[in-house]
Amino acid sequence: MSLRVVFAGTPEFAVPCLAACRASGAEVVAVYTQPDRPAGRGRRLAPSPVKQAALEAGLPVEQPESLKSAEVQARLAAYAPDLMVVVAYGLILPRKVLAIPRLGCWNVHASLLPRWRGAAPIQRAILAGDAETGVDLMRMEAGLDTGPVLLEKRTPIRPDDTGGTLHDRLAALGAEALAEGLARTQAGEVLAAVPQPAEGVTYAHKLDKAEARLDFARPAIELERQVRAFDPWPVAEGEIAGEPLRIWAAQALDRPHAAAPGSVLAAGREGIELACGKGVLRVTVVQRAGGRRISAADYLNARPELRGAPR
């Protein structure tokens, strides 16, 4: 049984899932993605990564501002989809849209539900110090990420994982889960839909650039997670000896001290060690205003006075 699939997604995270749909033997009859948005210094309209992938594959592309109008819903229904696959689309699907595909709508979500429902599950899992995360293939309902789970794939969160590395791993894992779900469904199997437990619900609120500011009165381990979670966006920011910097890499050290938070305790080839509310944060990669990423050792060449820490 070959399925007629409408795919809906927008960012890079969704591109492997679009490829999985195409490779599954299903017929991708249309790709829905958000309208082109201004990007870059020139603020020119740019297509989403999913739109680029769809056009390269010769697939029809739809870019409605919303799915609420009867006209937009009628156009979707005209594609006569058996299934709609939604991956980080960014638009809410009204009940009438959920009811259009014969087999309903599936969503690939980057967490182990019901933990981290919402917009930023990858970064929130790192910030919280979770040991494990994964992807869920879920049947969509009207609520936010509340539907029953059809398939789940798990992965440990490594001590050196950043928002970027975990994003890429989960994008690939999501494509694996979707490929398996499509293969089993096209073979005639009805996937078991397991309701989410009522306990353990948490929400992964959208990232705010204001969250990137490091508060050295907090424990070093929390700041290390913040640095990792916010790479590549919005990038952690902190002040070192009076200069605001973007901080790309740092390591928490379980080391006692009596210095004021933010004080430079040591500075050398291994990095710049800053006093925190608990422990020490060793900063290893920084970026000055208008500059590029450099090692802390290279930064110290421009600020040799810091080598005589503490300050």
Give the chain's domain count: 2
Looking at every residue in the chain, the average pLDDT score rounds to 96
Least confident among 181-185, 270-274, 303-307: 303-307
Region 254-283: mean pLDDT is: 96
pLDDT digits (tens, 9 = 90+) for 156-177: 999 999 999 999 999 999 999 9
Is 265 one of the annotated binding-site residues? Answer: no
Closest CA to 127 of 39, 227, 29: 227
Q: Beta strand 264-268 with 271-275: parallel, antiparallel or unpaired? A: antiparallel
Q: What is the dihedral of CA 13, 166, 140, 119, to 10 degrees?
A: -80
Neighbours of 217 (CB within 10 A): 13
The whole-number pLDDT of residue 37 equals 93
Cα–Cα distance between 96 and 73 in angstroms, integer? 8
Structure confidence at residue 310 as a pLDDT band (50, 70, 90)? low
Q: Beta strand 83-87 with 105-109: parallel, antiparallel or unpaired? A: parallel
Region 267-294: mean pLDDT is: 97
The whole-number pLDDT of residue 42 equals 83
Res 41 pLDDT > 90: no
* Domain end call among 178, 204, 230: 204
Q: Beta strand 236-240 with 243-253: parallel, antiparallel or unpaired? A: antiparallel
Q: Which SS3 state, helix, strand or coil, does residue 246 take?
A: strand
pLDDT digits (tens, 9 = 90+) for 199-230: 999 999 999 999 999 999 999 999 999 999 99
220 and 179 belong to one structural domain: no
Region 42-60: mean pLDDT is: 95
Give the CATH number for residue 24. Answer: 3.40.50.170
67 and 45 belong to one structural domain: yes
213 and 200 belong to one structural domain: no
Region 97-102: mean pLDDT is: 98
Give the domain range for residue 286.
Answer: 209-308
233 and 189 belong to one structural domain: no
178 and 234 belong to one structural domain: no
167 and 96 belong to one structural domain: yes
Is 111 one of the annotated binding-site residues? Answer: yes
176 and 230 belong to one structural domain: no
183 and 157 belong to one structural domain: yes
Provide the sign of the torsion angle of the four alpha carbons 17, 73, 91, 60, taken in this order: positive
Q: Is it true that the peptide bond before 35 is cis, omega within 30 degrees of 0?
A: no
Res 309 pLDDT > 70: no
The whole-number pLDDT of residue 308 equals 64
The whole-number pLDDT of residue 306 equals 87
Structure confidence at residue 81 as a pLDDT band (50, 70, 90)? very high
* Domain end call among 204, 234, 268: 204
Give the CATH number for residue 253. Answer: 3.10.25.10
184 and 232 belong to one structural domain: no
Region 10-28: mean pLDDT is: 97
Region 232-246: mean pLDDT is: 96
Res 311 pLDDT > 70: no
147 and 117 belong to one structural domain: yes
The answer to whether 83 touches 102, Cβ cutoff 8 Å, is yes
The whole-number pLDDT of residue 113 equals 98
218 and 198 belong to one structural domain: no
Is 113 one of the annotated binding-site residues? Answer: yes
Res 241 pLDDT > 60: yes
The whole-number pLDDT of residue 107 equals 98
Is 114 one of the annotated binding-site residues? Answer: yes
Burial (CB < 10 A; 0-12, 13-18, 19+), residue 208, is: exposed
Question: pTM score, two decimals?
Answer: 0.95
Region 275-300: mean pLDDT is: 97
* Domain end call among 204, 220, 244: 204
243 and 155 belong to one structural domain: no
The whole-number pLDDT of residue 307 equals 81
